[in-house]
Structure 1
Amino acid sequence: MDNIMIEIIVDGEKIKVPKGTTIINATNKVGKYIPHFCYHKKLSVAANCRMCLVEVEKFNKLLPACSTIVSNGMNITTCSEKVKIARKGVLEFLLRNHPLDCPICDQGGECTLQDISFEYGSSKSRLSSTTTKRVFIHKNLGPLISAEEMSRCIHCSRCIRFSIEIAGTQELGILNRGEHSEISSFLSRNIESELSGNMIDICPVGALTSKPFRFSARSWELAHRFSISPHDSLGTNLLMHVKSNHIYRVTPYQNEKINECWISDRDRFSYEGLNCNDRLSNPIVKNVHNKWEDISWDQAFDIIKDKFSNILKNHSGNDIGFLASNYSTLEELLLISKIAKSIGSDNIDFRIKNLNIDANNNIEGIPWLGMPISEIENLDRILIIGSNLRNDHPLLALKFRKAVNNGAKLFLVDSCEYEHNIQVADRITVSPLNMVNSIAEICIALLELNNIKIPECFINIKVSTNAKNIALHLFQGKNIGIFIDNSILELSDNGKLLANSYKISQLLDAKFGFLLSGSNTIGGYLANAYPINNNKNTNQILEKKLKSYIILHAEPSFDFNNPAETLMNLAQSEFSIALTPYASEAKKWAKMILPIAPFSETSGTFINNCGYIQSFKAVILPFKETRPGWKILRVLANILDLDGFEYTSSLDIKDELLSNVDLSLKLSNNVTSSIGISNVKENIIERIADIPIYKKDPIVRRARSLQNTKQSEKPCFIANNLTLSKLKINNFGKVKINTKYGTVILDIQEDNKIANNCVKISAGFEDVIFINSAFTDIKLECI
């Protein structure tokens, strides 16, 4: 759109708007609301509802405001008698077949059709009492979206345009013609998009509603409270709808810098996990008879003081380990870090899935996205390494999809040909260990294009056709982005891979960034919640079998790389404490469980993947005897007589960390490791242990509706035909996997989208906790 301003007249008022503006957007600038159904600011223009008709001077017919571009001197009348008559006619046709069920409709009170009917609807109908209305049978679209009352549909086509243009997949369409037209999914399949819940928000009537929320409350009964999503690194802005200290639903809070007006289904429906029956109501401790016993907070802290005092007296602070998840708040991470440092323990880490002991030495500063989120859609060449975008970063995938729709070319290096619903220009699919060499091939091709001598460490590498093609297209780009997934940061030997990728960005003068996991990875680094002075990782902290561990917000069965070994090491410690909202998983290993408030019941701060600091408050009161994490950790420090913990609010903690820190100076993706290649043995079989989107954290894992989706189905033993043949396994039946911790039986599934020498067994399930991430020390047996 040009920056040239033109003058138009709206209802007698002269205004200036940019050239190329539509009438509906121009009138919004002067506060003139034009009623509409099919128009949505984020979707293409359909102009099929005809509700937005306006009168324009010198035109002999009314024009749709959503599709008509203004011209200089245009005289627009938005509410003339002619316009009113037309709108009343359109509305009468819509109501002709619309059921009169507003009293029981979940959309009641926030329904666009209802609102417009008050202004343009007639007080009585011209239809006789015997006139029949069109009726459609209900449709099953899956566990998240209810399409029970499709007779309410007015065929605005917003849901169809959303699925194609935003979600990237056409899961809905229109069947039949004329009065018999109806919205339906292909062959009555479930909707499986990770963004599907946004169709509920954009539906202007009650045709598509939330199945978990169905008939739970009326919209006017609910208070809307702002919060931040803890489920990924984007920092999605949320509105949580509350009644009687209970969260009933979640919708997006518009923020154009971050999530625009969309949220993922994980953010929308995970509130069920906040209301589940597994919530812990008060502190519990395992007594001398190995039975769980309810205790008060005073009793809990007395026991902790006694146990920790003995450990500190007879051993050292280094015999206490502190492990936290990367979706803990900034305040919780700072306090747990300060406690660890105050008692002399360097056994602290929030990077609980990190296998790399040299992680501190490979990157100069705190890793981040490398650019503002909104700039992604302006890139013209994109290389993404190691990411399952839709699964791990659903709303960032939307940004990359936008970039490709704008003309960008997307290239991927991965271990599985995941379907991203984005047009991919080219990709290289190899095992994780071979990824470093594939990146080296692209690097060599770029060196040749730049007429730069090939380093000796790359001399023996043969460059594939795919690598040459990717390098050539990247070389032709003007605005290039190279992105490394967080799973690469977690690999045991990622130094060369990071260095090769960074070298590519330098050769192209490209932006270089990381697709981080968790809501507060940057916050964890900023709070120094990791072993700064020693190169160690979480596995090494656990292998020490310390006297005590404090685990914050994490569940060892699902959030650690080697669940079975982690559970065993924790259970063998003298006194381990779980700080968690939930009881069931912690009872497997802890000696004491303290009920900590989830994000919805505490105040705190998250720092998203581009360094944007966002604070939030509790939207409801803590559940029964649950307490905010920062308060529990502050009291823990006080009973241990540690100095510097005189906080009265979470704001005091935040200010202590951020008041004298320029975060922008700490964010740096400069890679300090050296380029090189990997000597991979051909007989090594690697496991791709991806975690499905609805198994990522304790809250989501307890959201009943999300667990009923296809993405949460039981994991299988998946490999391509060559790998199955190599392992002498048939591509049907079941396989028994014997490990030193136990036996796992999985269905076998052939999928040639998996890289050679790889087996995809998803993590995050109870069924597979006996299999470690390295996929070593196992025996396979067909059954």
Structure 2
Amino acid sequence: MSEVVATKQSVSFILDGKEVTGYRGETIIQVADREGVYIPRFCYHERLSVAANCRMCLVQVNDGKKTLPACHAQISQDMVVNTQSSTTRQSQQSVMEFLLINHPLDCPICDQGGQCDLQDLAMGFGKGVSRYEDTKRVVKDEDLGPLVSADMTRCIHCTRCVRFGTEISGIPDLGALGRGEDMRILSYLKTGLNSEVSGNVIDLCPVGALTSKPHRYRGRSWSFTNHAYYSAHDCLQSHVYVHTYKNGIDGQDAVMRVVPRQCDSINQIWLSDRDRFSYLGLQHRDRLTHPMIRDGKSWRVVDWETALTLVSEKIQSVIKDHGPEQIGALISPSTSLEEGFIGQKLLHTLGCRNMDYRLHQRDTDYMDSAVHTLPQEFLSFEQLDNSQCVVLVGSYIRHEQPIAGLRLRAASLKGTRVLSINPIAHAWNFHCEEEVVVAGQDFVQFLGACVVSLANFGAIELSDRWRERLIHIDSSTQSDRFAKYLMQSDGYLLLGQYAQSHPHASAIYKLCSLISSVTQMRLVMMTPGTNSTGLHAIGYGPCHRVDSVNMSTGESSYQMIDRPKQLYLLQQVEPEIDHYDPALARAALTRAQTVVAITSFTSPEMLEYADILLPAAAWTEFSGSWVNITGEINTFQAIKPLHGQSKSAWKIYRVLANLLKCEGFTYHDISELRADIPLLSSGCLDESIDGEVDLSPPLPRQLADQVVGSELTRIGELGHYQMDTLVRRCDPLQRPADKVIAKIHPDTVRRLGFDDPGNDVVVSLKQGQNVISCPLLTDKTIAKGAVYCPVICHGDSQLSGRNDAIEILFSEDDQ
């Protein structure tokens, strides 16, 4: 990067007749930008390396006749730089004339019009009439996929897109072939763009060569209204600008596009494709526009009063006949603080304690019994950038939190060691120093082996209870190497979705907590959804707060499904996809007396098990607050009108509480509700809550080697474009809905007593009573003793627990 070469040794020189000061190693353009002196540029970008191939930034130095590229020329003592001289102007005008020789004159239809650097600089530095009369070159456009549109005749070969792939994303999808006029920017293997952050090339392209394909010919930038907002698909909450158009598509106010908003502490200037394009789901055909109630096997549209009155009657009936413990609430981890607070308050008033947002987890004991209301550590990207070591524990950070993956890659390039403990040897976009591929009980056992290695090296004195629990676990060569890294480094232990959704997540958390307590490795849970940290901070869940003490009196999301309830209240979730055990969840919802769904979208499955549908405001349509993984409280306002008859979820809870004659719900607006939430009224997270870290050992059953015989464990991954109800409805992000493909290590097949089935065999996968048929491929990146079978997001067939035991049923011909 161009900004890392500078030192702190001061250098004084003359810039346009004014003495300025820079630092040795800085370039002319860096100092000029800091001093407010504009130098035109195309290829230069402050976040990328210096290419100096567009030559638009040529400036006169020391009155020389030969101008120098300001992006590459470093400052020196007493040098004289003139950015306004006739020599400088002539050089820049000549470069502009050459760039325009082959550029098409299609500005009226170009999506970059109005925000095009070439347009702007042609006005400032170009000539009014072209001297070029020959035929312009034409470049065939390549299909780069559903997100980025290529008009490569407009390309000026700045190579920003190429450098982004090689330097920032680590996925070199694009490259340059040929020289001079024959040079082409293209994907070498004709596979398009496969990076999860590929949309950033749209922002980097200074002309209209790379534009947004979903936004193509949809509107002009000067017609849009700009809104500062936050993304809603992971715990980072990237800062974005949302552009809306009044009376836009189909005569409605619409979100036209989403672009990054600079925030150096979070996403810098980058944005993941999930955050950039998910807005397209707001107009999806599944969008719920009116309240609906089930009428036999059909659905009937009703008004809000009828729907909410029916909901209140159903709740009162269940409480009267079965008690409040027969009500269960499952909400999205992206629920705002305001919605979570008033929903929790209503349920507590009714005497119900069964509420949870952690649908992806089976084992939540370590959270429900914790003394702290907050995670032990927040993530600081400044500290991450300077960490000596980062350990990814059950985390595919590249897909789960793509922007965090970019920040980790940048740290890795600066020298941070990255270690991985995962069930799959993932395709990382950075160098992984050590990688252990284990799944199921072996995953827990390896963490236990790391603790034993630390004890053997004298880094920790284990208590008698810990020694008793770890007595059957031996250290290994790999665990010894990990232990040495952990002892000698400061950094982070990042727990990802596999670690959190593991059947023995409590054991994993306690082992990592012990490691963190005896090393300088800070433990951070990279939670799914937008606001898991905030919901945990206000005590939403079966574990509620009484006089600063957590009281576990309710049931977790898994327990609510394992012990079916009479009434379920769902908010912005699809349990048939989101829940740890989709098949069990669907069965419980089908058997329930009443299922009320507060949702922005319907699905064929939801229309089967739900009884009352209440349309809720989606992203950009409601006001609220979230807490991100760095501890920041982000408050935002609605920026577009509600869709159809949708309502903000907190207002639905308020009216429902009044119909149920609950006291304390007379909120006239959201500011009154926020005044009742201590976290928001104080304006900061309460980090003064003291309490020792729970370093008690896991239960014996959580550490025992339970895998016997030929039992396999499933790796049930939820795709990064299936994380929530909105992104699932973004069609350009969805891949073709082909049949599910299972993968297994070839050694595991042989251990089961079968020959390598090759890549064309179809098997049956069985979990409990649930069986699906799918192709089985052998893949050496999968942990031994495990079967990779992702969560199925379409169709009627579902397996059970994401990471539970699984069987493979081969046909006799394959044995």
Give the shorter-chain TM-score range. over 0.9
- Is the 1:561–1:773 contact (alpha carbons within 8 Å) kept by the matching residues of 2? yes
The reply to whether residue 551 of structure 1 matches residue 551 of structure 2 is no
Q: Residue 304 of structure 1 corresponds to which residue in structure 2?
A: 311
Using the TM superposition, give the Cα deviation of residue 467 of structure 1 relative to its aligned residue in structure 2, in angstroms. 2.1
Q: How many residues align?
A: 776
Q: Residue 138 of structure 2 corresponds to which residue in structure 1?
A: 135
The reply to whether residue 496 of structure 1 matches residue 515 of structure 2 is no
User: Deviations along 1:310-356, whole A, 9 cap, x unmatched?
Assistant: 23334432222111110111111111111111111011111112211
Selected match of 1:114 from 112, 119, 126: 119
Using the TM superposition, give the Cα deviation of residue 100 of structure 1 relative to its aligned residue in structure 2, in angstroms. 0.9
CA gap 1:339/1:184 in 2 versus in 1, 3 angstroms: same
- Is the 1:159–1:203 contact (alpha carbons within 8 Å) kept by the matching residues of 2? yes
The reply to whether residue 701 of structure 1 matches residue 728 of structure 2 is yes
Q: Residue 45 of structure 2 corresponds to which residue in structure 1?
A: 40
Paired with 2:316 and 2:59, the residues of 1 have a C-alpha distance of 77
Runs of at least 4 residues of structure 1 off by over 6 A?
none
Using the TM superposition, give the Cα deviation of residue 599 of structure 1 relative to its aligned residue in structure 2, in angstroms. 1.7
Question: Secondary structure at 1:188's aligned position in 2?
Answer: coil
- Is the 1:370–1:669 contact (alpha carbons within 8 Å) kept by the matching residues of 2? no
Using the TM superposition, give the Cα deviation of residue 539 of structure 1 relative to its aligned residue in structure 2, in angstroms. 1.9
Question: Secondary structure at 1:698's aligned position in 2?
Answer: coil
Q: Residue 779 of structure 2 corresponds to which residue in structure 1?
A: 751
Selected match of 1:407 from 415, 419, 423: 415
- Is the 2:716–2:803 contact (alpha carbons within 8 Å) kept by the matching residues of 1? no
- Is the 2:24–2:75 contact (alpha carbons within 8 Å) kept by the matching residues of 1? yes
CA gap 1:647/1:668 in 2 versus in 1, 3 angstroms: farther
Using the TM superposition, give the Cα deviation of residue 669 of structure 1 relative to its aligned residue in structure 2, in angstroms. 10
CA gap 1:543/1:507 in 2 versus in 1, 3 angstroms: closer
Amino acid at match of 1:367: P
Using the TM superposition, give the Cα deviation of residue 774 of structure 1 relative to its aligned residue in structure 2, in angstroms. 4.6
Q: Residue 270 of structure 2 corresponds to which residue in structure 1?
A: 262
Question: Secondary structure at 1:191's aligned position in 2?
Answer: coil
Question: Which runs of structure 2 are paired with 1:152-163 in the superposition (5 Å)?
Answer: 152-163=154-165
Question: Which runs of structure 2 are paired with 1:317-396 in the superposition (5 Å)?
Answer: 317-359=324-366, 360-361=368-369, 364-367=372-375, 370-396=378-404
Amino acid at match of 2:92: R
Selected match of 2:763 from 735, 740, 765: 735
Amino acid at match of 1:493: H
User: Deviations along 1:514-558, whole A, 9 cap, x unmatched?
Assistant: 211110001111232201123742121123332211101100111
User: Deviations along 1:730-767, whole A, 9 cap, x unmatched?
Assistant: 23321123556554221111111101110011114225
Q: Residue 11 of structure 1 corresponds to which residue in structure 2?
A: 16
- Is the 1:368–1:668 contact (alpha carbons within 8 Å) kept by the matching residues of 2? no
Q: Residue 542 of structure 1 corresponds to which residue in structure 2?
A: 561
Question: Secondary structure at 1:480's aligned position in 2?
Answer: strand
User: Deviations along 1:386-425, whole A, 9 cap, x unmatched?
Assistant: 1111111111111110111001111111111011111011
Q: Residue 599 of structure 2 corresponds to which residue in structure 1?
A: 580
Q: Residue 637 of structure 2 corresponds to which residue in structure 1?
A: 617
Using the TM superposition, give the Cα deviation of residue 362 of structure 1 relative to its aligned residue in structure 2, in angstroms. 5.3
Question: Secondary structure at 2:431's aligned position in 1?
Answer: coil
Q: Show structure 1 runs of 5+ residues with no match.
A: none
Q: Residue 718 of structure 1 corresponds to which residue in structure 2?
A: 743
Q: Residue 229 of structure 2 corresponds to which residue in structure 1?
A: 227
Question: Secondary structure at 2:721's aligned position in 1?
Answer: helix
Paired with 2:722 and 2:43, the residues of 1 have a C-alpha distance of 35
CA gap 1:61/1:447 in 2 versus in 1, 3 angstroms: farther
Question: Which runs of structure 2 are paired with 1:48-63 in the superposition (5 Å)?
Answer: 48-57=53-62, 59=64, 61-63=66-68
Paired with 2:371 and 2:779, the residues of 1 have a C-alpha distance of 36
CA gap 1:544/1:508 in 2 versus in 1, 3 angstroms: closer
Question: Which runs of structure 2 are paired with 1:511-660 in the superposition (5 Å)?
Answer: 511-532=522-543, 533-534=552-553, 536-584=555-603, 585-657=605-677, 658=679, 659-660=681-682
Paired with 2:275 and 2:199, the residues of 1 have a C-alpha distance of 10
Q: Residue 292 of structure 1 corresponds to which residue in structure 2?
A: 299
CA gap 1:59/1:664 in 2 versus in 1, 3 angstroms: farther
Selected match of 1:678 from 704, 725, 733: 704
Using the TM superposition, give the Cα deviation of residue 65 of structure 1 relative to its aligned residue in structure 2, in angstroms. 1.4
- Is the 2:377–2:522 contact (alpha carbons within 8 Å) kept by the matching residues of 1? no
User: Deviations along 1:24-46, whole A, 9 cap, x unmatched?
Assistant: 12112232111100011111111
Using the TM superposition, give the Cα deviation of residue 502 of structure 1 relative to its aligned residue in structure 2, in angstroms. 2.2
Using the TM superposition, give the Cα deviation of residue 444 of structure 1 relative to its aligned residue in structure 2, in angstroms. 2.7
Q: Residue 549 of structure 2 corresponds to which residue in structure 1?
A: none
Q: Residue 437 of structure 1 corresponds to which residue in structure 2?
A: 445
User: Deviations along 1:643-678, whole A, 9 cap, x unmatched?
Assistant: 222222223323322224643335999444316843
Q: Residue 469 of structure 1 corresponds to which residue in structure 2?
A: 481
User: Deviations along 1:128-153, whole A, 9 cap, x unmatched?
Assistant: 2xx11121111011111111x20111
- Is the 1:567–1:588 contact (alpha carbons within 8 Å) kept by the matching residues of 2? no
Using the TM superposition, give the Cα deviation of residue 698 of structure 1 relative to its aligned residue in structure 2, in angstroms. 0.8
Paired with 2:591 and 2:806, the residues of 1 have a C-alpha distance of 22
Paired with 2:630 and 2:741, the residues of 1 have a C-alpha distance of 35
CA gap 1:169/1:726 in 2 versus in 1, 3 angstroms: same
Amino acid at match of 1:680: Q
Using the TM superposition, give the Cα deviation of residue 713 of structure 1 relative to its aligned residue in structure 2, in angstroms. 5.6
CA gap 1:34/1:462 in 2 versus in 1, 3 angstroms: same
Q: Residue 25 of structure 1 corresponds to which residue in structure 2?
A: 30
Q: Show structure 2 runs of 5+ residues with no match.
A: 1-5, 248-252, 544-551
Amino acid at match of 2:434: D
Amino acid at match of 1:204: P
- Is the 2:379–2:629 contact (alpha carbons within 8 Å) kept by the matching residues of 1? no
Q: Residue 433 of structure 2 corresponds to which residue in structure 1?
A: 425
Selected match of 1:73 from 53, 78, 82: 78
Using the TM superposition, give the Cα deviation of residue 453 of structure 1 relative to its aligned residue in structure 2, in angstroms. 5.5
Question: Secondary structure at 1:663's aligned position in 2?
Answer: coil
Paired with 1:655 and 1:295, the residues of 2 have a C-alpha distance of 34
Using the TM superposition, give the Cα deviation of residue 68 of structure 1 relative to its aligned residue in structure 2, in angstroms. 2.2
- Is the 1:363–1:673 contact (alpha carbons within 8 Å) kept by the matching residues of 2? no
Selected match of 2:101 from 96, 101, 111: 96
Q: Residue 194 of structure 1 corresponds to which residue in structure 2?
A: 196
Using the TM superposition, give the Cα deviation of residue 691 of structure 1 relative to its aligned residue in structure 2, in angstroms. 0.8
- Is the 1:363–1:672 contact (alpha carbons within 8 Å) kept by the matching residues of 2? no
Using the TM superposition, give the Cα deviation of residue 723 of structure 1 relative to its aligned residue in structure 2, in angstroms. 1.9
Paired with 2:199 and 2:434, the residues of 1 have a C-alpha distance of 31
User: Deviations along 1:457-506, whole A, 9 cap, x unmatched?
Assistant: 445433222222222233333x3222222432333323332222222223
User: Deviations along 1:684-725, whole A, 9 cap, x unmatched?
Assistant: 31110111111111111111100137xx76431111102223
- Is the 2:501–2:580 contact (alpha carbons within 8 Å) kept by the matching residues of 1? no
Using the TM superposition, give the Cα deviation of residue 188 of structure 1 relative to its aligned residue in structure 2, in angstroms. 1.2
Paired with 2:72 and 2:640, the residues of 1 have a C-alpha distance of 43
- Is the 1:412–1:427 contact (alpha carbons within 8 Å) kept by the matching residues of 2? yes
Paired with 1:603 and 1:667, the residues of 2 have a C-alpha distance of 32
CA gap 1:774/1:473 in 2 versus in 1, 3 angstroms: closer
Paired with 1:462 and 1:40, the residues of 2 have a C-alpha distance of 52
CA gap 1:535/1:346 in 2 versus in 1, 3 angstroms: closer
